[in-house]
Amino acid sequence: GIQVEQSPPDLILQEGANSTLRCNFSDSVNNLQWFHQNPWGQLINLFYIPSGTKQNGRLSATTVATERYSLLYISSSQTTDSGVYFCAVGYTGTASKLTFGTGTRLQVTL
C-alpha cells in the first residue's frame, strides 16, 4: 500500500517562531489533507489540498503532487498550535480510504 512519511517526528518551538512540516508519499494521490490533533484528541481538518497552495491565517500548505510531497507552514506559532499534525492521503488504487502518516508532534513553549 501507499507509504506516508512525515518529518520531523518531533518539534519544539518557542512562541513566535516559524516552522515547516513535511509529508512525503509513495504514490500518486488525488486526496491530501492536513489535520491537527489537539491535546484532547480531536482531529481538526486544516486543509484539503491534493495540489497547489492554500492559506488560512497563520497556516499555509503546498502540495507538489508530481514530486509526491506536501508542506505545512506555521508562522508566528502560538502555544495553542501544540499537538500532533497528520498528513493523510487518498489515491486512485483505493478510492474510499485515507492513509495517515505517523504525524509530527509539535510543542510550542513560552
Partner 1 sequence: EPEVTQTPSHQVTQMGQEVILRCVPISNHLYFYWYRQILGQKVEFLVSFYNNEISEKSEIFDDQFSVERPDGSNFTLKIRSTKLEDSAMYFCASSEGYSSNYGYTFGSGTRLTVV
DSSP structural state of residue 82: -
Does 42 bind partner 1 (CB under 8 A)? Our answer is yes
Alpha-carbon distance of 47 to 44, in angstroms, equals: 9
19 vs 85 by CB, closer to partner 1: 85
Letters for 89-108 (x = contact with partner 1 by CB under 8 A, - = none) are -xxx-xxxxxxxxxx-----
Q: Which three cell numbers stand for residue 109?
A: 513553549
Amino acid at 72: L
Q: Which residues bind partner 1 (CB under 8 A)?
A: 30-31, 33, 35, 41-43, 45, 48, 86, 88, 90-92, 94-103
